Amino acid sequence: MATVELEVAHLLRRAERTRTTGERGDPRPDGSLDRSGYLLLQALRIHGPQHVTALAERLGLDGSTVTRQVVALERAGHVTRARDPLDGRAVVVEPTSAGLDQLDRHRTARSAVYADVLDGWSPLDRALLAELLARLNDDLDDYRRRRDAD
């Protein structure tokens, strides 16, 4: 297991080095998204407008953390926030068309990086990598839920 832990640490560091730098939670100088903004917009694209609490649960984060990320995305024009008409205490977050456009540009750019990195890999190896990473992410989520339940 020590080798897996070390390789994951190296993976995270190297993956981060392929990104454009910028302040955490804020739009980057070149307009690209940080990881938090990317994942939040992706969740909104897939699952539609959501309460901050639903986004926090979906992303495995604290509500205050998601609120800070939403505020940064709102300042950048990537999302809007509005009171839920059915529950005035809750806030609903919705992506803007500009936010979805930025998400598409970001995904295209990141996909190009990984297409280049994995150029020498066979289609089978790429598919296996995707499958194993999805499995690892699911198992990490399960671990967090079990830990939080204790």
Ordered by start, the domain boundaries in the chain are 23-117
pLDDT of res. 16: 82
* Lowest-confidence pick of 28-37, 47-56, 136-145: 28-37
The CATH number that domain 23-117 falls under is 1.10.10.10
Alpha helices in the chain (DSSP H): 2-17, 35-47, 52-59, 63-75, 97-117, 123-149
Q: What is the pTM of this model?
A: 0.81
121 phi, psi to nearest 5 deg? -90, 145
Which pLDDT score is estimated for 115? 95
For the segment 34-83, what is each residue's pLDDT rounded down to a tens digit? 888 999 999 999 999 999 999 999 998 899 999 999 999 999 999 999 99
Confidence of residue 84 (pLDDT cuts 50, 70, 90): confident
The owner of tokens 């020498």 is: 120
Query: What confidence score (pLDDT) does residue 30 get?
Result: 55
pLDDT at residue number 27: 46
- The predicted-structure confidence for 86-109, as pLDDT tens digits, reads as follows 888 888 999 999 999 999 999 999
pLDDT (mean) for 126-132: 97
DSSP three-state, residue 89: strand
- Averaged pLDDT of the chain: 89
Q: What percent of the chain has a predicted confidence (pLDDT) above 90?
A: 67
Q: Is residue 28 a contact partner of residue 20, using CB atoms and an 8 Å limit? A: yes
